[in-house]
């Protein structure tokens, strides 16, 4: 009988705890850099702040990638795979991407916008840049490992509607050959499952040969809500799904009712 792996349980919960601890340290250090950004001297202070934040993104991104590589190896061992595999960590994002993302967070302060709000945006941007390195490490590992057949997105109960919708999609298989009899149109392609937003805490769960992926009870409920209230409405699916969550989800977001 095939072993079952899910988007909830010990493995994704451990990944999320590790991510949360890393983000907590990142935000602590970013708040220590706030003094570098001076509203009355933006032209002079922004470059120094950008350089300092880029350094943090590189440092914590490398840590996120290392944590992800270790998690992949642990999950591989748990799947009973004896043949060793080399897990290559994802590289740091291009400097121009990091700078453009951070400058986007600051764009309003040039016209007298709230500096505190800009710092909060920048923290969300930095968190995504860091955690994306871990998530990309897991995606790369699945693509390169012959024993890995798929991966799934794991979203927390308090996740936003977009993340819940993506997690309800279930396992995304590398190709039709690894999908087998379980394949349908929702298993093809990974673009939606691996889109992440600022302040996103979702993780990626690999699926190995001999394992069967099964949605957790809460993700299965999200899938039911999608199929009942949003499927078949191209261009309006997320809005309808968000409304269905607010009206029918047993784990609604605070203030959604």
The DSSP symbol for 153 reads E
pLDDT above 70 coverage of the chain, percent: 88
Q: Among candidates 98, 34, 114, which has minimal Cα distance to 61?
A: 98
In angstroms, the CA 57 to CA 52 distance is 9
5-14, 18-27, 89-98, 245-254: least confidently modelled range = 245-254
Provide the b/e sequence for 11-32 (b: ≥16 CB within 10 Å): bbeebbebbeebbeebbeebee
The pLDDT of 114-127, averaged and rounded, is: 96
In angstroms, the CA 118 to CA 32 distance is 15
In angstroms, the CA 172 to CA 133 distance is 19
Give residue 10's pLDDT. Answer: 84
pTM of the model: 0.86
User: Quick check: helix, strand or coil at residue 87?
Assistant: coil
């Amino acid at each position: 009988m095939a072993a079952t792996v899910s988007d909830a349980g010990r493995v994704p919960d451990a990944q999320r705890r590790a991510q949360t601890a890393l983000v907590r340290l990142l935000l602590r250090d970013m708040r220590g850099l706030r003094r570098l950004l001076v509203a009355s001297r933006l032209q002079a202070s922004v470059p120094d702040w950008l350089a300092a934040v880029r350094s943090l993104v590189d440092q914590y991104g490398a840590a996120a990638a290392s944590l992800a590589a270790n998690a992949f190896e642990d999950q591989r061992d748990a799947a009973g795979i004896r043949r060793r595999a080399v897990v290559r960590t994802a590289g740091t994002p291009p400097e121009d991407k990091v700078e453009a993302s951070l400058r986007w967070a600051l764009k309003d302060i040039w016209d007298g916008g709230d500096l505190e709000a800009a710092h909060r945006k920048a923290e969300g941007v930095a968190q995504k840049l860091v955690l994306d390195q871990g998530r990309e490490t897991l995606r790369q590992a699945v693509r390169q490992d012959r024993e890995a057949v798929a991966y799934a997105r794991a979203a927390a109960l308090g996740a936003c509607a977009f993340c819940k919708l993506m997690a309800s999609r279930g396992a995304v298989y590398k190709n039709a050959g690894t999908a087998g009899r379980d394949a349908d149109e929702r298993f093809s392609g990974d673009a939606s499952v691996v889109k992440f937003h600022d302040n996103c805490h979702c993780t990626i769960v690999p699926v190995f040969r001999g394992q069967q992926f099964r949605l957790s009870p809460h993700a299965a409920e999200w899938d039911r809500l999608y199929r009942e209230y949003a499927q078949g409405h191209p261009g309006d699916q997320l809005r309808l799904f968000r409304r269905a969550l607010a009206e029918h989800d047993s784990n609604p977001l605070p203030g959604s009712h």
